[in-house]
Amino acid sequence: MGGVTVRVPAKVNLQLAVGPLRDDGYHDLVNVFHAVSLFDEVTAAEPDRAGAADRPVRVRVEGEWAADVPASDDNLAVRAAAALAARAGRSYRADLLIRKTIPVAGGMAGGSADAAAALVACNELWGLGLPLPDLMEIGADIGSDVPFALLGGTAVGTGRGERLTALETSGVFHWVFALADGGLSTPRVYGECDRLRAEAGAAVPWPRVSEPLLAALREGDAPALGRTLSNDLQPAALALRPSLAATLRVGRDAGALGAIVSGSGPTCAFLAESAEHAGALAAGLKDAEGCRGAVTAFGPVPGAAPAG
């Protein structure tokens, strides 16, 4: 398949502070995203088929997670390509091939990543030349995490998470991701967070970025970063998937600098001291209960960009 191939990273949330439920059904967040070296690839090519006026954008999905991903107009990459064509105001066609490595419904924004990659690939394929801010604006309507998948690096998102400010970081951080069997529905985890908070009767604080986290990032201080990781959705993810508590404990006991559920989960993220330490942690986590496997990665890495 010729065409344009774009590589796009997964993300882990270093801080996910969830504010009150808004009238539009979203929550105001302080969401510190960190792009890591776990990538999907999306290739956009001119269709080699006649007709197809009814299906201007078609998608094929490959990889171990393919069975859990819609190969229809519901696919976030297809929705992104269609939104870009609408913005360009011309009819366009494309065949998309998605090669997935990012766990599906894993709390690593794999769907959002593919949407971001489809925007970059089709922008190139169709010769539209839209600048990144325009793609980020279109992406924000596809999903709250799509703008970050375009931007990459480390950034704090406010609003739904779509309003991004890049953060100064130094050095490289080494991670292990423990992959769980099956995914967790993001809206269901947010709903469980609201239910637990209502049950506790606790006031919902307005989300504020963690200053110690910003300092750890600026200084490239991994032990400090490990101590400042936080995720307001973690209690909800643990309530919906109790086995994650054991996974977090195994990683902590094995010496991880930090252990947290990534976003809405169920992937668990562990911060390591080095690439070697990450390899040792992954070996220990592979056999943890409910763990489908463990992969190592590092960050920050750039956002969606042409591969090769």
Ligand X SMILES: C[C@@](CO)(OP(=O)(O)O)[C@H](O)COP(=O)(O)OP(=O)(O)OC[C@H]1O[C@@H](n2ccc(N)nc2=O)[C@H](O)[C@@H]1O
Told to check if 187 binds ligand X by CB under 6 A, we report: yes
Q: Which of residues 136-195 bind ligand ADP (CB under 6 A)?
A: 186
Residue 112 vs residues 44, 153, 156, 248, 303: alpha-carbon distances, Å: 16, 15, 17, 25, 12
How far apart are the C-alpha atoms of 225 and 95, rounded to whole Å?
42
Binding of ligand X by 143 (CB under 6 A): yes
Q: Which option in ligand X, ligand ADP, none does residue 104 bind, with CB closer than 5 to 8 A by kind?
A: ligand ADP
- What 8-state DSSP symbol labels residue 25? S
To the query of whether residue 286 is one of the catalytic residues in this protein, the response is: no
β-bridge mates for residue 269, sequence order: 177, 260
DSSP string, 37-71: EEEEEEEEE---SS--TT-SEEEEEESTTGGGS--
Query: 27 or 174, CB closer to ligand X?
Result: 27
On whether 198 is known to bind a ligand per the annotation, the reply is no
Contact with ligand X (CB under 6 A): which of 263, 266, 299, 303? 263
Of the candidate residues 102, 109, 151, 256, the single one contacting ligand X (CB under 6 A): 109
Catalytic: 100? no
Which residue in 124, 57, 79, 92 sits closest to 307, CA to CA? 124
* DSSP codes of every residue in 11-23: EEEEEEEEEEEPT
Which residue among 4, 16, 108, 271 contacts ligand ADP (CB under 6 A)?
A: 108
| 168 vs 118: CA distance, rounded Å | 27
Q: Of the ranges 26-34, 67-75, 199-207, 274-282, which one interacts with ligand X (CB under 6 A)?
A: 26-34
**Applying CB under 6 A, which residues contact ligand X?**
13, 16, 25-27, 29, 31, 107-109, 112, 143-145, 160-161, 186-187, 190, 263-264
**Applying CB under 6 A, which residues contact ligand ADP?**
68-70, 75-77, 98, 104-112, 114, 186, 264
